[in-house]
Amino acid sequence: KSAERRERETHEVLSAVLDQSPDSVLVTNLNGEYTLVNTIAASRFGKSLDDILGKTATSLFSEQDALHRQQLDRSIIATGDATTFEESLTIGGRHMTMLTTKAPFLDSHGKTVGLITMSRDVSELSAARQTLFLRSEELESSNSELEQFAYIASHDLQEPLRKISTF
């Protein structure tokens, strides 16, 4: 009886962690069907959990994005290697930059039974990085212009001094 209680408590804690996570968490089986989706993931897609569970990427993404995801998922399952990457997505009409990690989902015997996907919205960070890059380019251009101006000004100021020194 206490083993059942511990298992129920563990399940409750894990459910709370998933639902309170700021990251999207999705688990698919080997057929690519979503078997677990947390609340934030469903919210980002603008769908209910029931609208996602049992469906595949084609129900959430454009045909091209779904095909790309399915190919990547098959590669991860085949190699057994987790991968982390940044991706730009348009979900529910909103453009987002996500830092996504995909890893094989293993059963208790170490056999791959699906795929775990965790995604963090890094849109603000990505926008800040882009702004920083643009400002850096502007600063480099401005510095180059200042260097040219300083060279010309220095040359122009030295010319009268050369004439004075020849007297």
pLDDT at residue 41 in the model: 94
Q: Check residue 93 and report its DSSP letter.
A: T
CA–CA separation, 61 and 7 (whole Å): 35
Residues above pLDDT 90, as percent of the chain: 53
Tell me the average pLDDT across 14-23.
90
Question: Which segment, 11-20, 73-82, 86-95, is predicted with the most confidence on average?
Answer: 73-82
Confidence band (pLDDT; 50, 70, 90) for 150? Answer: confident
Tell me the average pLDDT across 6-32.
92
What is the chain's percent helix, strand, coil content, to nearest 5?
55, 25, 20
Model's pTM, two decimal places?
A: 0.72
Residue 17: its H or E element: helix 2-20
